[in-house]
Amino acid sequence: MADEKEFKQTDAQLEYQHHDGTYRKQNNIVENPLLRYTDEQVIQGAELFTKDKGLDEYRDLFANAALVARDPDGFNHIPSLSADERQALQHEMDHKWSQPKMLYFAMLLCAIGAATQGWDQTGSNGANLSFPAEFKINTPHNEPGGPRDEWILGLINSAPYLSGGLIGVWLSDPLNHLLGRRGEIFVTAICLVATPIAAAFTKNWGSMLAVRLVMGLGLGAKAATVPVYSAEMAPARIRGALTMGWQLWVCFGIFLGFAANCVVMNTGRIAWRLQIGSAFIPALPLALFIFLIPESPRWLMKKNRYPEAFKSYLKIRSAPIIAARDLYYSHVLYEEEKALAEGSTYISRLLDCFRIPRIRRATLAAGTVMLAQQMCGINIIAFYSSTVFHESGFSERQALYASLGFGALNFAFAIPAVFTIDTFGRRALLLATFPGMCISVLITGLMFLLPQYSHAPAADGTGGVFSTTRLALIALFIYIFTIFYSVGEGPVCFLYGAEVFPTIQREQGMAFSVMINLFFAAILGMTFPPMLRTMGNVGAFCFYAGLNLIAFIMIFLWVPETKALTLEELDQVFSVPTKSYINYQIQHTLFRRNIPPPRPVDN
């Protein structure tokens, strides 16, 4: 008993010191906190862990796992490991993509749910060409009631993102607390099956608006949970690629939505109803199969259900030694976070995102990346591409096919990002692609200055021939913009927000980040129709080119790299003061001065 008490004091020292660590200078990886302690201390801590958490039958396994967690690359020097354990660890190191099928099934199932978000955007995109006339909200801008109708159309398009950003994302924490990650995803999936179908049967714009506001509750809560669940399930070395399945399948949903728009465009007056209603399709398998995959081990750990957490890890890791290593390492770091958050409430944990320096910096970085997605202008195309193409001279049929091309490119170029995001890094991809987006959006706007007709229409407005050169150049530079987006901001956005927050504040931090994203998506959706009429295509696209430039500067100053770090190791990255980080980026990157990187501080 005395020995146990004595070690508990040592074990407290084993808990991750929240701001005590150093960068390894050569590879910029944060120091493993367990390296500061002897093998005997680490083993003793693991033995107490198994006794306290109901895992006593795995005592020897966790003792070895703790030693591996202490020095992941030096496992061959741990004599107590069996040959099978060494082989499993070596295989993990040599073949990072060799993971259990259950892990990939879980990632696939969650990613399919993301397609709902993309499909909804494109369903309303195509429907914008016809449902305003049926609901009598298509008055021309220069006639009485025209500006009002434009704002109504914008509000209907942005309604899911408005309610999702202001209310839906904040439902994620209580739903996660009560139902777990899987239960929360199930509830939101049911919502996203029902609401598109209901929207297809609406009779006026008011009921359409109401249904889409309810849809937003499901979209917001789902968007705040699915990336977190994916990040908590994925191994650190491939976390970026697996978690970005969210964005990949949003892109896939966008593509399928545009394809559905083209399939049903000849069905007459019900075409827009089919376009909007079809968005239920990707949410259906999510609702049906979500309980076939394991619960998040980190959520179970928060509920002190460690045996269940270990069982979850066993299903998504390739060997027991790897599952035990990941569970123990997460536990050691989580205990410190829990101690820091002792006695906290939902509101206090949310406020921590702004008053604790380490978390505030993560909030700033995640919010910047989320806001940048809207600033780049991608949702101009996702919400209104059919309208933009139609007004530039395409027929309605051609506009739908041109939008399908946008969706195809968006999805196709998101695929290679799966393999590059953990190689080049999040920050590097953002900084490399935003200049390209800025230039392509600017040129798109300038293309509208070209002559609209190759053969001018007669005095009565008939007989004109639109310039194919102008139409082709507009489509070309929209497509180039899409390619830059799909390999940069697209895959990084939700991944970055899901991985930068401590476990205790993860729901609140992600909810706030998603709120930023969805709220400004709503602002974009509401303002673009009147902006298009007031500023014209040239002014609107040039405006977003300027926002791309501003977003690039914000990312350069406020968004650190997170590539290849465990979720818990990110503490040290965000313990660097913002002023020090900005000064380093300016001095080292811009002026090429050889100065040491900024160090974390105790705050």
Q: With 0-12 CB in 10 A as exposed, 13-18 as middle and 19+ as buried, what is 204?
A: exposed
pLDDT-based confidence at residue 416 (cuts at 50, 70, 90): confident
Write out pLDDT tens, residues 397-406.
Answer: 899 899 999 9
Question: Worst-scoring range by mean pLDDT, 243-252, 377-386, 524-533?
Answer: 243-252
> Between these two residues, 14 and 338, which has the higher pLDDT value?
338
pLDDT-based confidence at residue 29 (cuts at 50, 70, 90): very low
Report the pLDDT averaged over residues 426-451: 95
pLDDT at 462: 58
Three-state helix/strand/coil letters over 489-511? HHHHHHHHHHHCCCCCCHHHHHH
pLDDT at 32: 61
Q: Is there a contact between 384 and 526 (Cβ–Cβ < 8 Å)? A: no
**How is residue 167 annotated by DSSP?**
I
Tokens describing residue 72: 């992941």
Q: What is residue 415's three-state secondary structure? A: coil
- State how beta strands 453-455 and 465-466 pair: antiparallel
pLDDT-based confidence at residue 266 (cuts at 50, 70, 90): confident
pLDDT-based confidence at residue 595 (cuts at 50, 70, 90): confident
pLDDT at 602: 57
**Is 90 exceeded by the pLDDT of residue 24?**
no
pLDDT at 455: 65
Write out pLDDT tens, residues 166-216.
Answer: 999 889 888 998 999 999 999 999 999 999 999 999 999 999 999 999 999
**Is 60 exceeded by the pLDDT of residue 589?**
yes
Distance CA 22, CA 37 (A): 15
pLDDT at 367: 96
Q: Is there a contact between 318 and 95 (Cβ–Cβ < 8 Å)? A: no
pLDDT at 243: 67
Write out pLDDT tens, residues 360-377.
Answer: 999 999 999 999 999 999
**Is 60 exceeded by the pLDDT of residue 9?**
no
CB atoms within 10 A of CB 382: 28
**Is 70 exceeded by the pLDDT of residue 244?**
no
**Is 60 exceeded by the pLDDT of residue 355?**
yes
CB atoms within 10 A of CB 548: 25
Distance CA 373, CA 378 (A): 7
**Is 90 exceeded by the pLDDT of residue 71?**
no
Report the pLDDT averaged over residues 440-459: 83
Question: Worst-scoring range by mean pLDDT, 101-115, 201-215, 304-318, 560-574?
Answer: 560-574
**Is 70 exceeded by the pLDDT of residue 221?**
yes
Which of 22-26, 273-277, 405-409, 489-493 tops mean pLDDT? 405-409
pLDDT at 187: 96
As a dihedral over the C-alpha atoms of residue 157, residue 160, residue 165, residue 167, rounded to 10 degrees, the angle is 140
pLDDT at 17: 36
Report the pLDDT averaged over residues 273-278: 90
pLDDT at 8: 39
Q: What is residue 64's three-state secondary structure? A: helix
Report the pLDDT averaged over residues 215-230: 88
Task: Provide the terminal-to-terminal Cα distance of the chain, rounded to the nearest Å.
Answer: 36
> Between these two residues, 563 and 445, which has the higher pLDDT value?
445
Mean pLDDT in the chain? Answer: 86
**Is 60 exceeded by the pLDDT of residue 1?**
no
pLDDT above 90 covers a percentage of the chain that reads 46
Q: Which amino acid, one-letter code, is at 53?
A: K
> Between these two residues, 136 and 552, which has the higher pLDDT value?
552
pLDDT-based confidence at residue 343 (cuts at 50, 70, 90): confident
Q: Which amino acid, one-letter code, is at 379?
A: N
pLDDT at 23: 33
pLDDT at 452: 82
H helix runs in 341-377, sequence order: 346-355, 357-375
pLDDT at 403: 92
Closest among 295, 297, 301, 345 to 179, alpha carbons compared? 295
Question: Worst-scoring range by mean pLDDT, 21-35, 109-123, 496-510?
Answer: 21-35
**Is 80 exceeded by the pLDDT of residue 603?**
no
Report the pLDDT averaged over residues 122-128: 82
pLDDT at 15: 36
pLDDT-based confidence at residue 491 (cuts at 50, 70, 90): confident
> Between these two residues, 463 and 474, which has the higher pLDDT value?
474
Q: For the whole model, what pTM was predicted?
A: 0.78
CA 130 to chain centre: 32
pLDDT at 340: 66
Sorted by where each starts, the structural domains of the chain and their CATH numbers stand as 101-571 (1.20.1250.20)
Write out pLDDT tens, residues 374-387.
Answer: 999 998 888 888 88
H helix runs in 71-204, sequence order: 83-94, 101-127, 131-134, 146-163, 169-200
Q: Is there a contact between 282 and 113 (Cβ–Cβ < 8 Å)? A: yes
